[in-house]
């Protein structure tokens, strides 16, 4: 039996080594076909094939630029290099005596990286001259908050008129991979029934490496991807562009968990090498422009920052509000910066004064809901007409919005404030914040009362007026009904122009 176990283990080790060699040879050939003027005929033996390709690539990178080195490092290791990897390799190659030294440097580096990160061997495809859209979280999860809605709607609309390549990250964050069929359905047809296999398909262990591409970051990348993305943005020759949502994790750090700030700072460390950021509002653009301007202190030009205002379209949701018991609606996840504790306080004050209305919340839990949950539980015990629906499908949320008397959205910080625009699209007036992106929407659209969200008295007064002054409510409703929402098709087209047609050129 001991002999049998040893033999089995040896066979397993030999098979694993053969797989590593096979993947290495395939990756080297993929890089060589892009970088070299002539590529030798494939050798059926993986070890011999790798042995004939590596010297050619080692010779090439001795005099090649940063982009070629980035691709060769990706091929040799089977993972995107970090900025530190890129800098080390350039300096080490500069001092290498000959091609053989370069080969050894590359192989030793691959051994160290794969060992320290426990990377699985995988092949790679090089995607050339394409628009590559990263949608990692939206592909892996069914969550449908603001960023996922933007990612999915834009990706779906783009895919109907442009060839795009949708990617996510490998599980080890070695680099990008193509989406599975289930993941592509989740991004492009979210909300439609999935008719494929019930089990989630296994993601293919194959890198999808962009070359002379435009990489669009439709959402904030996973934290573990920020460092290799930095090297990709700075050194690979690909144009990295992004939708800029907000800088809440750093500018409103007092209302977010500290881990968010760490993640976002890693994201910014990559964005400083991006070509262009299309911010979703004037307010958001100001935040990202402030960051970009600060990069002059490092001698870095930073990304171009433009404003492409977000879509506000809600299809087929005219107001259905009645003159019965008023319904006050508060949309958004229960994050501290959404200011829901202020809404609960104001509602309680008005209930104590004898006003009769229902208060409804729609949204998932935030990072710290202890105070919110305790207040809601107390008010329900006291018999107050309060309903927390949790997360609702879009159709149900919009139906509830259209039937509400007024939406209350006194957020302390928003990149755009989509609930404001979508409420107006349903013909429902809004009480919202008198600065930032919500003020932008309200000033352009009408149908809103603006308040200082930090002033409970002002918020209480605004809600009291809407509930007790019929003429004011009717005027706000009339203004909301005149609002013309921006379509998703328009937004997607403007975004493509800004990020792809213009963002790749600089």
Spatial separation of the C-alpha atoms in residues 299 and 482, rounded to whole Å: 48
126-192+202-311+491-501 and 327-481 share one fold: yes
For 229-270, the pLDDT digits (tens) are 999 999 999 999 999 999 999 999 998 888 889 889 999 999
Domain residue extents for the chain = 17-121, 126-192+202-311+491-501, 327-481
CATH number for 126-192+202-311+491-501 (one of 3.40.50.2000, 1.10.10.10, 3.40.50.1220, 3.10.180.10): it is: 3.40.50.2000
- The helix or strand, by DSSP H or E, that contains position 164, with its residue range, turns out to be strand 164-169
Q: Is the pLDDT of residue 414 over 50?
A: yes
Arithmetic mean of pLDDT, 289-304? 95
Arithmetic mean of pLDDT, 60-76? 96
Q: Is the pLDDT of residue 3 over 50?
A: no
Give Cα 167 to chain centroid, integer Å.
Answer: 12
Arithmetic mean of pLDDT, 264-278? 95
Cβ atoms of 330 and 408 within 8 Å: the answer is: yes
pLDDT of residue 6: 47
DSSP string, 203-226: PPSEEEEEES-EEEE-SPPPGGGH
Using alpha carbons only, what angle is made at residue 332 by residues 328 and 336, rounded to the nearest 5 degrees?
A: 105
Percent of the chain whose predicted confidence (pLDDT) is above 90: 80
pLDDT of residue 315: 62
Q: Strand runs (DSSP E) across 298-445, as ranges?
A: 304-307, 327-331, 358-362, 386-388, 406-409, 430-433
Q: Is the pLDDT of residue 165 over 90?
A: yes
Q: Which residues contact 48 (CB under 8 A, 6 or more apart)?
A: none
Spatial separation of the C-alpha atoms in residues 324 and 385, rounded to whole Å: 14
Lowest-pLDDT range, 21-35, 209-223, 314-328, 447-461? 314-328
Using alpha carbons only, what angle is made at residue 69 by residues 67 and 75, rounded to the nearest 5 degrees?
A: 110
Q: For the whole model, what pTM was predicted? A: 0.90
Cβ atoms of 431 and 415 within 8 Å: the answer is: no
Spatial separation of the C-alpha atoms in residues 450 and 462, rounded to whole Å: 8
Cβ atoms of 464 and 350 within 8 Å: the answer is: yes
Using alpha carbons only, what angle is made at residue 38 by residues 32 and 43, rounded to the nearest 5 degrees?
A: 70
**Which of residues 209 and 320 earns the better pLDDT score?**
209
Of the candidates 46, 77, 44, 73, the residue with the CA atom closest to the CA atom of residue 60? 73
Give Cα 16 to chain centroid, integer Å.
Answer: 35
- Residues facing residue 169 across a β-bridge: 176
Percent of the chain whose predicted confidence (pLDDT) is above 70: 95
Q: 327-481 belongs to which CATH class?
A: alpha beta
Q: Is the pLDDT of residue 121 over 50?
A: yes
């Amino acid at each position: 039996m001991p002999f049998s176990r040893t033999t089995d283990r040896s066979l397993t080790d030999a098979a694993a080594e053969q797989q590593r060699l096979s993947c290495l040879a395939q990756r080297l050939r993929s890089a060589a076909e892009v970088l070299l003027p002539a590529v030798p005929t494939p050798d059926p033996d993986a070890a011999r094939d790798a042995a004939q390709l590596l010297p050619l690539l080692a010779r090439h990178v001795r005099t090649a630029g940063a982009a070629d080195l980035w691709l060769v490092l990706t091929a040799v290791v089977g993972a995107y290099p970090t900025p530190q990897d890129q800098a080390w390799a350039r300096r080490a190659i500069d001092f290498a005596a000959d091609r053989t030294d370069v080969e050894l440097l590359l192989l030793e580096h691959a051994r160290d990286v794969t060992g320290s990160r426990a990377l699985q061997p995988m092949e790679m495809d090089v995607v050339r001259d394409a628009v590559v859209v990263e949608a990692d979280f939206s592909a892996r999860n069914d969550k449908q908050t603001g960023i996922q809605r933007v990612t999915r709607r834009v990706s779906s609309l783009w895919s109907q008129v442009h060839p795009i390549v949708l990617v996510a990250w490998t599980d080890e964050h070695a680099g990008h991979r193509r989406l599975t069929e289930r993941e592509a359905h989740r991004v492009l047809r979210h909300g439609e029934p999935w008719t494929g296999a019930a089990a989630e398909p296994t993601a293919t262990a194959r890198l999808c490496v962009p070359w002379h591409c435009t990489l669009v970051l439709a959402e904030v990348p996973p934290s573990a991807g920020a460092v290799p993305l930095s090297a990709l943005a700075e050194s690979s020759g690909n144009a990295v562009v992004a939708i800029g949502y907000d800088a809440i994790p750093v500018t409103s750090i007092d209302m977010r968990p500290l881990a968010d700030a760490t993640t976002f700072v890693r994201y910014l460390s990559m964005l400083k090498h991006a070509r262009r950021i299309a911010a979703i509002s004037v307010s958001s653009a100001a935040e990202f422009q402030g960051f970009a301007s600060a990069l002059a202190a490092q001698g870095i030009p930073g990304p171009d920052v433009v404003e492409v205002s977000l879509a506000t379209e809600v299809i087929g949701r005219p107001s259905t509000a009645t003159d019965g018991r008023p319904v006050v609606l508060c949309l958004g996840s229960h994050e501290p910066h959404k200011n829901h504790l202020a809404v609960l306080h104001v509602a309680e004050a008005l209930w104590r004064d004898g006003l009769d209305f229902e208060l409804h919340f729609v949204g998932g839990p935030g990072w710290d809901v202890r105070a919110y949950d305790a207040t809601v539980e107390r008010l329900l015990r006291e018999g107050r007409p309060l309903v927390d629906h949790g997360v609702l499908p879009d159709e149900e949320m919009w139906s509830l919005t259209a039937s509400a008397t007024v939406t209350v959205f006194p957020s302390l910080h928003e990149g755009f404030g989509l609930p404001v625009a979508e409420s107006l699209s349903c013909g429902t007036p809004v009480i919202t914040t008198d600065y930032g992106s919500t003020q932008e929407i309200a000033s352009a659209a009408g149908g809103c009362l603006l308040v200082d969200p930090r002033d409970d008295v002002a918020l209480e007064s605004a809600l009291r007026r809407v509930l007790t002054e019929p003429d004011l409510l009717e005027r706000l409703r009339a203004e909301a009904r005149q609002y013309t929402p921006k379509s998703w098709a328009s937004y997607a087209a403007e975004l493509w122009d800004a990020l792809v047609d213009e963002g790749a050129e600089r």
